[in-house]
């Protein structure tokens, strides 16, 4: 009975619209996951935490509070600068090391001053969005520098364990920064739009549009620009890319910046429709992840389609079997894996 | 180059290591009696967690796969016993077996689904499975939902009811002892060596007859069974179960214990379980006071700890302790019987026959209609310029990459479509162009790997050390082969300490343990110094005189010309010439291919 209600003409479009909206954001996350894995071999589980940091930082700004994200950013900046400076000193270029430290100190001070000045003024929504991005996006490259770059030559498995560890650290920090309560951020647009039988909120439409635009942007970035092509080259053949002068570290830095921007934006897009708590990130990230796995961690279009599918399934499942929603979504991964294991020919590889 | 640890390692004076282990056991047995009750409860938890982590050591540290779902397997064990004892009134010992059955089935299915693929799909699948199972426990009313099941009966042991933590600690100790000992036994056995070989990539393991997929599934199931045992212990020590201790987060923490403690050592797992559990107790009081709020803040410290461990001590903390401990003495088992040997073919009879072999990659014909014959007792060289298709032909004979067309026959059997393992079992053993050894193991252990297909002990026999007779025979056979190639003196050195030339010779010894009728050598002289090459030539000639048939792919012309009986020359995937070294030297086509002699002179 419940199940048949799904196809009721008044309910079906609502569920479909919901699924599409969340699916669009999952698709963005799926793309970021594929990108990070292809370029750096890191299975980036903490991507979901970036979504949470995006939403909750914006929520803090709404209240005129300086978010804890700032202190994390400053600590990471310090650690990264220190590591970088040490590398310079070891190469016998202490001067450059000092310069790095000085630059980082200036940058940190500037960010701190900016946040301290702008946050209490409660700037308009678009200003808050920019401020959020300024606080969340740099976390990507800084985390790459402090956590993953020292592990550059490690196996996929070691990198995965590091990712899971990082996920726990960020979840714990989110609890410290934002507390256990959930927050919603205000929608970017109010009201509904009616397209024939279907009524969509402007917000949903906006989410779908922005996601589509971002994907288009990524397509152009990878297809038309030099840095984008360099990333693709690294993804195809790490050693080859290195031989033609693409440094794996700068490719990694760029990739993590992109991932952080995508996830941070994703967080702000999904923020109005999901009550985000400090620990929501894992499940959200994983849903994007399932999309990525459907794409075999290599195909961007398949990953996006897979993620939208996950959003739809989740939406329909939450209506008829809400307690089992997560079970349904996550056991979905098993048939997908089975299918992949039967269809892809395994090529023996020597990893170590 | 270090030549430390020569045969004297065989006889260290005092079995210091054994004494230390004995002392550790005595302390462990005394702890439940002397510690305050609260700490005994903590000890029970450490012991239970160590059982789970031991499984992860085998899976992650040794085989190089991992699972975040061990807590979920623990949950299967715990819930099985909880339901069957409270609702069906089963005996606790029967429910242990029932838990094993359910766990094994689930692990086997998950393994079948994911273990054919690259290593990272298994952890991902276990994440999904860990999350799903948590919600299944929490949403099933028959399992008590998120509040769980209470009133689980205690374990009875010969009329003694284990209700106090002090008595229960002994049950947990015995379980951990059995599991840890089994793991140690397994690691020093035929199956354990195959497991270690898997870590270096499937190529070597397959070449010596290991069914890598099956072995991976077996180890995954074994690790799950250990978790299931831990779950059973947990349910009967707490006397109630709810979903929280079996969540994904707990599964992640077990992996952390293995990583921090040292995932390649059974003791490392125990160390990690103790360390993280105690650290958690301490941080649980400290951090909320520090931060001024309630919450799971210890995960922040755990996460940072794991990242730092990975960056600075990737093998965990145990190897640092191992450094100050006396080295484990290598014990040679008394030899009761020798391994059966295979009948050798009459010298001069055809052994390997390649007929019209064809291998295409897309449009490229890497091997195009190549035919030759190898007779028992000869050394045949396969040479040709770079890209001539030698290695492809080699892969085609060894079953690494089967032919697209044509026929390969070995000892009268068609092996065109056979797998690497099947071909190996027929009597073909090989070495690798890039040396594939296990640097952390002794020469002896590395060599014994070559005899995998001559043994038959399986997982269970290895866990219980029921295969000692066979192991002894393998040990002595490996020693004999090491002496045969001149490495007998260094049998107890670590393979990583050898120079490249000796490592290649070690690979020859490893291949010889398989008792091969045909020895395949893939560029054995690559990267060797002149003296090392001369030693290699001398060794191969001696082996030929002892009746071993050899096929080698090689670049070094001098070496080949002085060594082989006959040569097959390839160029652009086709056979260019075949004959004795003198004939090949005189062959105009070969000279042209190698030296680029111009057409006019070549034709003259």
pLDDT over threshold 80, residue A342: no
* Banded model confidence at residue A352, pLDDT cuts 50, 70, 90: very low
Interchain proximity A286–B131, CB inside 8 Å: yes
CB crowding A148-174: b at 16 or more within 10 Å, else e: bbbbeebbbbbbbbbbbbbbbbbbbbb
Write out the two tokens for B150.
């209470």
pLDDT, tens digit, for every residue of B405-442? Answer: 889 999 888 998 888 999 999 999 999 888 889 888 89
pLDDT band at A6 (very low <50, low <70, confident <90, very high): low
> Is B116–A166 a contact, with Cβ atoms under 8 angstroms apart?
no
pLDDT of residue B156: 86
> What length does chain B have?
604
Query: What gap in Å lies between CA B486 and CA B505, rounded to an integer?
Result: 9
Record: contact B310-A330, CB cut-off 8 A = no
Query: B307–A147: do the CB atoms touch at under 8 Å?
Result: yes
> Could you read off the pLDDT of B285-295 as tens digits, one per residue?
888 888 777 77
Global confidence as pTM? 0.88
Give which of B115, B128, B129 to mutate to test A binding, by max A Cβ within 10 Å. Answer: B128
* Nearest CB to A176; choose among B129, B249, B291: B291
Q: What angle do CA B266, B271, B274 make, to 5 degrees?
A: 130
Residue B5 banded pLDDT, cuts 50, 70, 90: very low
List the single best residue of B307, B308, B398 to mutate versus A (max A Cβ within 10 A). B307
Token pair 């799909």 is at which residue? Answer: B121
A333 contacts B116? CB cut-off 8 A: no
DSSP B307-335: HHHHHH-TT-SHHHHHHHSPPPPP-PPPP
Name the 3-class secondary structure at B573. Answer: coil
Looking at the partner chain, which of B129, B293, B314 has a beta carbon nearest the beta carbon of A158?
Answer: B314
DSSP A324: G
Q: Do A172 and B64 touch (CB under 8 A)?
A: no
pLDDT tens figures, B133-153? 888 888 888 888 888 898 899
What are phi and psi for residue B151, nearest 5 degrees?
60, 40
What's the confidence (pLDDT) of residue A344?
62
Name chain A contacts of B299, Cβ cutoff 8 Å: 168-169, 171-172
Mean pLDDT of chain B: 88
- CB of B252 closer than 8 Å to CB of B99: no
**Minimum-distance CB partner of A175 among B123, B131, B295:** B295
* Residue B261 pLDDT exceeds 70: yes
DSSP string, A253-280: HHHHHHHHHHHHHHHHHHTTTS-B-TT-
Per-residue b/e over B126-149, b at no fewer than 16 CB within 10 Å?
bbbbbbbbbbbbbbeeebbeeebb
The answer to whether the CB atoms of B201 and A348 lie below 8 A apart is: yes
Q: What is the CATH number of domain B345-427+516-604?
A: 3.40.50.300
Residues whose CB falls within 8 Å of the CB of residue B104, separated by 6 or more in sequence, listed in order: B221, B224, B225
Q: Which of A124-138, B553-567, B590-604 has the highest average model confidence (pLDDT)?
A: A124-138
Q: Percent of chain B having pLDDT more than 90?
A: 48
Q: Which residues of chain B have a CB within 8 Å of the CB of A154?
A: 310, 314
For residue range B313-350, list pLDDT tens digits in order. Answer: 888 999 999 888 887 777 788 888 888 888 888 888 89
pLDDT score, position B591: 81
What pLDDT does A347 receive? 46
For residue B473, the model assigns a pLDDT of 92
Report pLDDT for A340.
Answer: 72
Tokens of B204: 């070597």
Of B129, B200, B310, the CB nearest to A161: B310
Q: Which of B491, B499, B507 is nearest to B528 (CA)?
A: B499
**Hey, is B576 helix, strand or coil?**
strand
Q: Any residues with CB less than 8 A from the CB of B201 and at least 6 apart, and which? A: A348, A349, A350, A351, A352, B436
ipTM: 0.89
Q: How confident is the model at residue A338 (pLDDT cuts 50, 70, 90)?
A: confident
What per-residue confidence (pLDDT) applies to A5?
A: 66
- What confidence tens digit (pLDDT) does each residue in B47-65 have? 999 999 999 999 999 998 8
Judging contacts by C-beta atoms under 8 Å, the chain A residues touching residue B201 are 348-352
Q: Which residue of chain B has the CA closest to A178? A: B293
Instruction: Report the helix count and the strand count for chain A, using DSSP H and E.
Output: 16, 2
Residue A10 CB contacts under 8 Å (≥ 6 apart), including other chains: none
Residue ranges of domains in chain B: 40-247, 345-427+516-604, 437-515
Tally Cβ neighbours within 10 Å of residue B214.
Answer: 12
Token reading at B173? 């100790």
Decide if pLDDT at B10 tops 50: no
Is beta strand B574-579 parallel, antiparallel or unpaired with respect to B566-571? antiparallel
Is the pLDDT at A215 greater than 70? The verdict is yes
Distance CA B565, CA B507 (A): 23
Percent of chain B with pLDDT over 70: 96
Q: What average pLDDT does this structure show over A131-154?
A: 93
Which residue from B121, B135, B291 is facing A326, i.e. has the nearest CB?
B135
The answer on pLDDT for A80 being more than 80 is yes
Mean pLDDT of A322-346: 72
The pLDDT of residue A1 is 43
């Amino acid at each position: 009975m419940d199940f048949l209600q799904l196809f009721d003409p008044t309910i079906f479009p609502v569920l479909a619209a919901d699924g599409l909206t969340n699916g669009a954001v999952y698709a963005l996350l799926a793309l970021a996951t594929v990108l990070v894995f292809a370029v750096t071999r890191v299975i980036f589980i903490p991507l979901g935490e970036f979504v949470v940091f995006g939403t909750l930082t914006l929520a803090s700004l709404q209240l005129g509070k300086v978010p804890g994200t700032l202190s994390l950013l400053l600590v990471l900046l310090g650690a990264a600068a220190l590591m970088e400076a040490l590398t310079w000193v070891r190469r016998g270029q202490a001067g450059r090391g000092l310069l790095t430290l000085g630059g980082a100190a200036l940058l940190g001070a500037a960010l701190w001053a900016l946040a301290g000045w702008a946050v209490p003024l409660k700037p308009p929504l678009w200003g808050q969005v920019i401020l959020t991005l300024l606080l969340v996006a740099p976390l990507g490259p800084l985390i790459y520098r402090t956590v993953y770059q020292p592990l550059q030559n490690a196996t996929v498995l070691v990198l995965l364990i590091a990712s899971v560890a990082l996920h726990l650290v960020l979840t714990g920090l989110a609890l410290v920064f934002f507390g256990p309560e959930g927050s919603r951020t205000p929608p970017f647009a109010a009201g509904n739009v009616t397209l024939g039988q279907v009524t969509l909120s402007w917000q949903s439409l906006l989410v779908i549009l922005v996601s589509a635009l971002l994907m288009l942007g990524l397509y152009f970035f990878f297809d038309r620009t030099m840095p984008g092509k360099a990333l693709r080259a690294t993804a195809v053949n790490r050693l080859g890319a290195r031989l033609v002068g693409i440094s794996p570290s700068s490719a990694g830095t760029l990739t993590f910046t992109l991932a952080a921007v995508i996830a941070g934006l994703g967080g702000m897009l999904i923020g109005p429709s999901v009550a985000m708590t400090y620990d929501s990130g894992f499940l959200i990230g994983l849903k994007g992840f399932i999309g990525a796995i459907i794409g075999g961690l290599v195909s961007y279009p398949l990953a996006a389609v897979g993620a939208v599918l996950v959003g739809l399934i989740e939406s329909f499942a939450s209506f008829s079997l809400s307690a089992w929603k997560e079970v349904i979504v996550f056991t979905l991964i098993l048939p997908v894996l089975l299918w992949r294991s039967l269809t892809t020919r395994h090529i023996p590889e020597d990893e170590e | 180059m270090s030549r430390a640890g020569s045969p004297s390692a065989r006889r260290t004076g005092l079995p210091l290591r054994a004494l230390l282990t004995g002392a550790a056991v005595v302390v462990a047995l005394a702890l439940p009696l002397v510690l305050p009750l609260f700490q005994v409860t903590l000890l029970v938890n450490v012991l239970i967690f160590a059982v789970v982590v031991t499984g992860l050591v085998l899976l992650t540290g040794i085989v190089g796969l991992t699972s975040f779902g061990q807590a979920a397997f623990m949950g299967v064990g715990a819930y099985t016993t909880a339901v069957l004892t409270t609702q069906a009134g089963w005996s606790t010992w029967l429910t242990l077996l029932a838990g094993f059955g359910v766990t094994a089935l689930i692990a086997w299915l998950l393994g079948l689904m994911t273990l054919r693929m690259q290593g990272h799909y298994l952890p991902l699948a276990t994440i999904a499975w860990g999350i799903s199972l948590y919600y299944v426990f929490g949403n099933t009313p028959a399992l008590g939902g998120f509040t769980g099941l209470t009133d689980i009966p205690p374990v009875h042991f010969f009329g003694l009811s284990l209700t106090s933590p002090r008595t229960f600690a002994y049950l947990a100790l015995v379980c951990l002892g059995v599991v840890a000992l089994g793991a140690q036994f397994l690691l020093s056995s035929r199956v354990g060596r195959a497991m270690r070989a898997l870590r270096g990539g499937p190529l070597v393991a397959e070449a010596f007859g290991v069914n890598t997929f099956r072995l991976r599934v077996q180890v995954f199931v074994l690790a799950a069974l250990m978790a299931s045992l831990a779950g059973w212990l947990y349910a009967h020590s707490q006397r109630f179960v709810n979903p929280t201790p079996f969540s994904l987060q707990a599964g992640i923490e077990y992996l952390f214990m293995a990583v921090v403690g040292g995932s390649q050592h059974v003791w490392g797992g125990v160390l990690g379980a103790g360390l993280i559990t105690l650290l958690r107790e301490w941080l649980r009081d400290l951090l909320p006071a520090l931060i001024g709020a309630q919450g799971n803040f210890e995960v922040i410290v755990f996460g940072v700890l794991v990242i730092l461990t990975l960056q600075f001590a990737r093998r965990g903390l145990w190897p640092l302790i191992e450094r100050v401990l006396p080295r484990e003495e290598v014990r040679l088992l008394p030899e009761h019987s020798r391994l059966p040997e295979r009948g050798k073919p009459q010298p001069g009879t055809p052994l390997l026959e390649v007929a019209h072999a064809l291998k295409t990659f897309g449009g490229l014909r890497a091997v195009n209609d190549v035919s030759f014959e190898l007779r028992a007792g000869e050394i045949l060289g396969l040479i040709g310029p770079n890209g001539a298709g030698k290695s492809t032909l080699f892969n085609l004979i060894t079953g690494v990459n089967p032919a697209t067309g044509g026929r390969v026959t070995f000892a009268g059997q068609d092996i065109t479509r056979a797998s690497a393992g099947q071909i190996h079992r027929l009597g073909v053993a090989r070495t690798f162009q890039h040396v594939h050894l296990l640097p952390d193991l002794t020469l002896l252990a590395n060599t014994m790997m070559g005899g995998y297909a001559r043994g038959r002990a399986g997982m269970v026999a290895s866990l219980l050390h029921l295969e000692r007779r066979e192991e002894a025979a393998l040990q002595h056979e490996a020693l004999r082969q090491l002496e045969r190639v001149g490495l007998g003196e260094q049998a107890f050195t670590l393979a990583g300490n050898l120079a490249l030339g000796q490592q290649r010779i070690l690979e020859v010894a490893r291949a010889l343990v398989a008792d091969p009728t045909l020895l395949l050598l893939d560029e054995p002289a690559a990267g060797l110094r002149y003296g090392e090459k001369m030693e290699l030539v001398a060794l191969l000639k001696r082996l030929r005189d002892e009746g071993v048939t050899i096929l080698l792919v090689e670049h070094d012309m001098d070496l080949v010309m002085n060594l082989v009986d006959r040569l097959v020359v390839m160029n652009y995937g086709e056979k260019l010439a075949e004959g004795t070294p003198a004939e090949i030297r005189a062959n105009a086509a070969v000279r042209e291919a190698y030296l680029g002699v111009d057409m006019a002179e070549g034709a003259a």
